[in-house]
């Protein structure tokens, strides 16, 4: 690239300087069409981005930036199956898993649509049979509980989706998720369950992931102790490509569902990793989930940048990260069932773009991925919104809101909607000194108390937010929302010039943990570690004793 990325990002600063003098409150007062000007749609999802520190020249500069880094070309390369995951020499083709068209989708010259459909067909057969009772446990009992054992992308995605789609689940078929190697997780999950009615799904591509296989061994021992060794085969399935390890574990070949190395873990919910979702909500709803993601893919691939939701959201994130220095981003769904959505996005975004070297291995000299966090409204309003409104750091926010609830419980949803809209308005408007004084005077507060209270009751405002609104949280809408954020990550990774599809940063801790395990177990000395680690190990052994 002839012009460095840092130089391109620095060009945004002149727009920041101008907008420093032009808060959103003023912009809304001057432009009655601001909402219309700065909103866009993809299917049934509306993005209102009018409550951002932007104007027309700013947005033009951001779209220029996207074209300068050849976002459109890299987007084309991804869909063409090129190995854009350069450090692992892999294609990045999670879009192929939910493709609904009739054209070939080739990776390394091979059309993958057939194999993808074969896996989906196998998932349908198995999930339908579990739900109907055609597949049962070793004693002939129908399964009432399914435990998915995985970690990272093999847990966060399906766990989040199953919770989000709770209205589509059955009371007599519960799906649980175990991920943490902390024995409390699997212990508390198994507590009260009946081995005769419990099915395990072990999700690990290599069937060697330490945390997953530790939990799987505990689950296997639980079944074998209660029902005998021969029962294991009837109570386990696997999402893996390591057929031999699955067979050695005791899993039948027709209960092993594979996927491909061009599917990254945090992008794998659309693959066989989604099997527990299909069991929980039914395969038709899983297909609708895939369809929603496909529709967002088509929007991302075909819509011009200026109306493209992932592009707009991604560029706004770059704007705040690099021109304004805002280091965090909050995702605040006004939907209790999306309570794991922010946790899911933490992996998707922070594992993807939490990088400090460019694709060619050079250190970056600008900020990359933000810290992503959040909780559902209205709970967050009584926790961390204080900091968002009046804290010293500005935190850009995404609000997510469905117009229709699944429940008929008035006035719950009306109050939820009112709170969501009020929060975005309050962040934008703030409350000036004059407004605070006028309000206190109207309440009959005396002059001295007004003077004392006014600084505490002022809100700076001009705090940015997006609002995503959609009719109802259906499987299709959820699929679209997840795909939207996937593509947002791609946009930002392209601008920053990093590889959004590897995760070497998770490896070092794993390596050191393996080396430390014998010392934790007391089978080896810790002489080769730093003084802190040696001291902590010594204290651990004292406390354990």
Whole-number pLDDT of residue 1: 58
Range of the domain at 449: 430-462
Asked if pLDDT for residue 119 goes beyond 70, the answer is: yes
Q: What is the pLDDT of residue 81?
A: 97
The DSSP call for residue 167 is G
pLDDT band at 284 (very low <50, low <70, confident <90, very high): very high
> What pLDDT does 511 receive?
92
Residue 467 is inside which H or E element, if any?
strand 465-470
- Own/partner long-range contacts of 501-505 (Cβ < 8 Å, ≥24 apart): 501/84, 501/85, 501/88, 501/90, 501/92, 501/264, 501/352, 502/85, 502/87, 502/88, 503/265, 503/266, 503/351, 503/352, 504/87, 505/351, 505/354
Report helix, strand or coil for 459.
Answer: strand
Residue 521 is a catalytic residue:
no
Q: What CATH number corresponds to the domain at position 533?
A: 1.10.1390.10
Token readout for 31 is 């432009």
Residues 44-50 have a mean pLDDT of: 98
What does the chain come to in residues?
545
Q: Is residue 411 part of a domain?
A: yes
For residue 62, pLDDT beyond 60? yes
**pLDDT surpassing 90 at residue 380:** yes
Q: How many domains does the chain have?
A: 4
The CATH number that applies at residue 131 is: 3.40.50.10490
User: Is 159 in the same domain as 49?
Assistant: no
Active-site residue, from 382, 456, 521, 544? 382
Which tens digits make up the pLDDT trace of 123-144? 999 999 999 999 999 999 999 9
Q: Is 510 a catalytic residue?
A: yes
Integer Cα distance of 355 and 370 in angstroms: 11
Please report which confidence band the pLDDT of residue 336 belongs to, taking 50, 70 and 90 as the band edges. Answer: very high
Q: Is the confidence at residue 377, as pLDDT, over 90?
A: yes
Say if residue 411 is in the same domain as residue 438.
no
**Token pair listed for 452:** 């004392």
Are 498 and 436 in a shared domain?
no
Poorest-pLDDT segment among 102-116, 370-384, 445-459, 503-517: 503-517
Ordered DSSP codes for 77-124? HHHTT---BTTTTB---GGGGG--SSS--EETTEE-HHHHHHHHHHHH
| Mean pLDDT taken over the chain | 97
Please, what's the b/e burial string for 494-508 (b: 16 or more CB within 10 A of its CB; e: otherwise)? bbbbbbbbbbeeeee
Asked if the structure places residue 80 within a domain, the reply is no
Is 527 inside a domain boundary? yes
Same domain, 115 and 252: yes
Give 372's DSSP letter: E
Active site residue: 415, 510, 514, 525, which one? 510
Same domain, 457 and 394: no
Same domain, 318 and 262: no
- Are 212 and 324 within one domain? no
- 351 catalytic, yes or no? yes
Mean pLDDT of 306-327: 98
Can you say whether residue 207 is alpha, beta or left, with left for phi > 0 and alpha for psi between -120 and 50 degrees? Answer: left
What digits encode the pLDDT tens for the residues 194-233? Answer: 999 999 999 999 999 999 999 999 999 999 999 999 999 9
Establish if 293 belongs to a structural domain.
Answer: no
Residue 2 has pLDDT above 60, yes or no: no
* Residue 378 and residue 494 in one domain: yes
Supply 534's token pair.
Answer: 């040696």
Residue 120 lies in a domain: yes
Per-residue pLDDT, 118:
97
List pLDDT tens digits, range 422-444: 999 999 999 999 999 999 999 99
Same domain, 341 and 407: yes
Residues 419 and 526 in one domain: no
pLDDT (0 to 100) of residue 3: 77
Query: Do strands 397-402 and 328-333 pair parallel, antiparallel, or not at all (unpaired)?
Result: parallel
Each as own residue / partner, the long-range contacts of residues 190-196 (CB below 8 Å, 24 or more positions apart, any chain) are 190/147, 190/219, 190/222, 193/145, 193/147, 194/141, 194/144, 194/145, 195/137, 195/222, 195/223, 195/226, 195/227, 195/235, 196/137, 196/138, 196/139, 196/141, 196/226, 196/227
The answer to whether residue 400 scores a pLDDT higher than 90 is yes
Q: Is the per-residue pLDDT at 527 higher than 90?
A: no
Interatomic CA distance for residues 355 and 357, integer angstroms:
6
Confirm whether 230 is domain-assigned.
yes
pLDDT in tens, 410-419: 999 999 999 9
Are residue 309 and residue 267 in the same domain, yes or no? no
What confidence category does residue 496 fall into, taking pLDDT thresholds of 50, 70 and 90? Answer: very high
User: Within a domain: residue 101?
Assistant: no
Give 251-280 pLDDT, tens digit per residue: 999 999 999 999 999 999 999 999 999 999
Does residue 291 sit within a domain? no
Q: Which residues contact 112 (CB under 8 A, 6 or more apart)?
A: 93, 96, 105, 106, 260
Catalytic residue, from 211, 295, 351, 486: name it. 351
pLDDT for the residue 135 = 98
* Same domain for 476 and 348: yes
């Amino acid at each position: 690239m002839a012009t460095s990325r840092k130089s391109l990002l620095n060009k945004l600063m002149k727009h920041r300087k101008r907008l420093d003098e032009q808060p959103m409150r003023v912009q809304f007062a001057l432009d009655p069409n601001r909402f219309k000007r700065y909103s866009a749609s993809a299917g049934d999802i509306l993005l209102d981005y009018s409550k951002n520190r932007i104007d027309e020249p700013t947005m033009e500069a951001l779209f220029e930036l996207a074209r300068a880094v050849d976002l459109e070309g890299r987007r084309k390369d991804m869909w063409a199956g090129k190995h854009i995951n350069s450090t692992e020499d892999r294609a990045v083709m999670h879009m192929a898993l939910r493709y609904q068209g009739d054209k070939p989708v080739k990776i390394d010259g091979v059309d993958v649509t057939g194999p993808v459909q074969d896996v989906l067909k196998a998932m349908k057969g198995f999930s339908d049979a579990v739900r109907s009772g055609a597949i049962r446990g070793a004693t002939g009992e129908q399964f009432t509980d399914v435990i998915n054992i995985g970690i990272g992308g093999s847990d966060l995605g399906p766990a989040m989706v199953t919770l989000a789609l709770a209205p589509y689940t059955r009371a007599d078929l519960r799906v649980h998720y175990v991920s943490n190697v902390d024995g409390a997780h699997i212990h508390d999950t198994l507590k009260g369950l009946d081995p005769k009615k419990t099915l395990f799904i072990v999700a690990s591509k290599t069937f060697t992931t330490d945390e997953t296989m530790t939990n799987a061994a505990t689950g296997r021992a639980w079944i074998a102790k209660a029902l005998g060794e021969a029962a294991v085969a009837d109570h386990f399935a696997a999402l893996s490509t390591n057929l031999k390890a699955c067979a050695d574990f005791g899993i039948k070949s027709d209960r092993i569902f594979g996927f491909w190395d061009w599917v990254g873990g945090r992008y794998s919910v659309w693959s066989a990793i989604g099997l527990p979702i299909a069991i929980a909500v039914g395969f038709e709803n899983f297909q609708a989930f895939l369809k929603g993601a496909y529709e967002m893919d088509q929007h991302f691939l075909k819509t011009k940048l200026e109306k493209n939701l992932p592009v707009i959201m991604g560029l706004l994130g770059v704007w705040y990260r690099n021109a304004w220095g805002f280091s965090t981003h909050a995702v605040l769904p006004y939907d209790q069932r999306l309570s794991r959505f922010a946790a899911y996005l933490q992996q998707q975004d922070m594992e993807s773009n939490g990088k400090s070297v460019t694709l060619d291995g050079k250190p970056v000299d600008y900020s990359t991925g933000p810290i992503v966090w959040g909780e559902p409204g209205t709970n967050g309003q009584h926790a961390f919104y204080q900091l968002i409104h009046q804290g010293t750091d500005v935190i850009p926010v995404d609000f997510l809101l469905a117009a229709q609830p699944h429940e008929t419980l008035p006035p719950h949803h009306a109050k939820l909607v009112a709170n969501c809209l009020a929060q975005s308005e309050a962040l934008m408007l703030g409350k000036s000194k004059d407004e605070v004084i006028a309000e206190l005077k109207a309440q009959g507060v005396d002059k001295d108390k007004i003077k004392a209270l006014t600084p505490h009751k002022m809100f700076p405002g001009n705090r940015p937010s997006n609002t995503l609104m959609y009719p109802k949280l259906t499987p299709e809408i959820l699929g679209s929302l997840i795909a939207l954020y996937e593509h947002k990550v791609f946009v930002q990774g392209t601008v920053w010039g990093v590889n959004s599809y590897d995760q070497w940063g998770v490896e070092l801790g794993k390596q050191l943990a393996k080396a430390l395990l014998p010392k934790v177990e007391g089978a080896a000395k810790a002489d080769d570690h730093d003084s802190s680690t040696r001291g902590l190990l010594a204290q651990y052994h004292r406390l354990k004793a």
